[in-house]
Copies of this chain bind each other. A is one copy, B any other.
Amino acid sequence: MRKSQPDHTDICFCPLSGLLDVLAKKWALLIIAILGNEGEKGFNELKKELGSISPKPLSDTLKSLEGTGLVHKRILATSPPSVKYSLTPDGWQFREYLIPILVWVSERGGKDQPGCPIHRSPHRNSNNPK
């Protein structure tokens, strides 16, 4: 249920803490950005894109993202059963809020390090890093 008043005063920060516990994980925002850019991804696809992540933190992060309803896990009953992760509507919504921040951050500190391991658009797959 929603508060009747649009002028949102009195926000309890407890849910924020809950979300933060998820988003503060090292790879969470990156996963959201990648799924937003490229749609569905499998576990090892994600792992490959993220580069240096180990299976455990990836698994943990995906679980918590699923738990907060930002990411959806779909299991395909194909001959080699495969798994696909994608953003939920809430995940898309959150990504919309996130994009201006990503852009702003990149403009502030915006040094494009040559050895940057992760270098992509916040909202489209344009592989033109240089």
A-to-B contact residues, CB < 8 Å: 1-6, 8-20, 23-26, 29-30, 33, 36, 68-69, 90, 92-94, 96-113, 116, 118-124, 126, 128-129
Q: How far is the CB of A18 from chain B (nearest CB, A)?
A: 6
Contact between B11 and A106, CB atoms less than 8 A apart: yes
Which residues does chain B contribute within 8 Å of A8, judged by CB atoms?
A: 103, 106, 121-122
Complex Cα–Cα for A113 and B15 (A): 9
Count of chain copies: 2
Indicate whether A109 sits within 8 Å of B18 (C-beta atoms), given known contacts A4-B123, A101-B94, A124-B4. yes
Contact between B10 and A29, CB atoms less than 8 A apart: no
Which residues does chain B contribute within 8 Å of A97, judged by CB atoms?
A: 97, 100-101, 104
Indicate whether A15 sits within 8 Å of B110 (C-beta atoms), given known contacts A29-B20, A103-B8. yes
Contact between B15 and A105, CB atoms less than 8 A apart: yes
Q: Which residue of B lies closest to A7 (CB)?
A: B124
